[in-house]
Amino acid sequence: MQTDDMELKKLVYLYLINYAKTQPDLTLMAVNTFVKDSLDPSPLIRALAVRTMGCVRVDKITEYLCDPLDRCLKDSDPYVRKTSAVCVAKLYDISPELVEERGFIENLKDMISDANPMVVANSVAALSEIHAMSGKPVFDLTSQTIFKLLAALNECTEWGQVFILDSLVAYVPKDSKDAESVIERIIPRLQHANCAVVLSALKVILKFLRSVSDADFAGPMVKKLAAPLVTLLNTEPQVQYVALRNINIIIQKHKEILANNIKVFFCKYNDPIYVKMEKLEAMIKLASEENIDQLLLEFKEYSTEIDVDFVRKAVRAIGRCAVSISASAQKCINVLLDLIETRVNYVVQEAVIVIKDIFRKYPNKYESIISTLCENLDSLDEPEAKASMVWIIGEYADRIDNA
């Protein structure tokens, strides 16, 4: 451990981190070296010593960590300061009382005013983590703090930007102008190459738009959110899935953002099943009288796919559109009847289930199709499909021969 070789020192410290839990008493013998290295002229070694002491999850070491950590939080080198900020959160996980007693949380709050943007980002990340662990507010966001965070946002790394953006969500704007000012500073983040930055920026903008009273500002701003969301759907499947999960939440309240971009949700032949399912959910939410014809053609096509679960969801999607858009219910029923004609067992059963829901929404309106359903009675072998058919027969027994 007393070596001057940086690479060897890293390996030794890594070894200590991995074996500290199984040999806590032997780890104590390394404390003097940690303390000595925290005073080393090289900032890399100072940071390495503090990082390692924070990663060694041994209660007996925590009291020895406090003095070097206190010193490194005020270090002249920003690399040491940013490493120390993260170390405070790790120490809080082991001993919250010690962190509060030594005033490390106050130190982190002071570091938000640091000249180095990475120090600011790591301080915010540490405070957010401490807040999540403690469940009590440790970080009060004021307009002055927000100004400092937004200034650091332009210069820190992409993950630093994510930490800062996630912390901005907790800020409550004083008025509409304050909210507009923050949104305008964050809008450029929507062009970022990292999808995590884009999603965090979207979250902040949508939250702050609630406080904007000027319709002339909010309207065009909402339209600007469509392009970054569509861009996220042209990435690899794993990122697409995360983006789609977020999009499905966003369009529950702001359907207008993607109302004109329905085609980007059409499933490709090589999409993984988990992406197809989320795209289908998004299409159902965006369905309207204007695009229902397009969507029904898509859903009908999906109903001939090989994947049974996807086919079932596509058939259910037709039923959900019929229930939510009354003007297109007849079109949806016609498509369902076409699918029943295919005589594919699981398609027929799913169609019966959704037609039952349509009958419940529109009683005494489409009973002319009951005879078609009765013709397929023998093919029903799933409990839910049988239960749906029993309900239909019970409800319309007077209109069915030999009911």
> DSSP per residue over 165-185, as a string?
HHHHTT---SSHHHHHHHHHH
Instruction: Write the pLDDT tens digit of every residue in 338-389.
Output: 998 888 889 989 999 999 999 999 887 887 888 888 887 778 888 998 898 8
pTM for this prediction: 0.80
Sign of CA dihedral 371, 375, 377, 380: negative
Question: In 161-276, where do the E strands start and end?
Answer: none
Rounded distance, CA 80 to CA 73, Å? 7
Q: Which residues of the chain have pLDDT under 70?
A: 1-4, 400-403
Cα dihedral 151, 157, 158, 164 in deg (nearest 10): -40
What does the block give as tokens for 353? 């289930």
Instruction: Write the pLDDT tens digit of every residue in 129-175.
Output: 998 888 777 878 888 888 889 888 888 889 889 999 999 988 888 88
The answer to whether 317 touches 356, Cβ cutoff 8 Å, is no
Sign of CA dihedral 269, 275, 277, 283: negative
Residues 6+ apart with CB under 8 A from 321: 284, 287, 292, 295, 296, 299, 328, 332
Rounded distance, CA 194 to CA 85, Å? 24
Q: Of 193, 87, 57, which Cα lies nearest the Cα of 201?
A: 193
What does the block give as tokens for 122? 């790591």
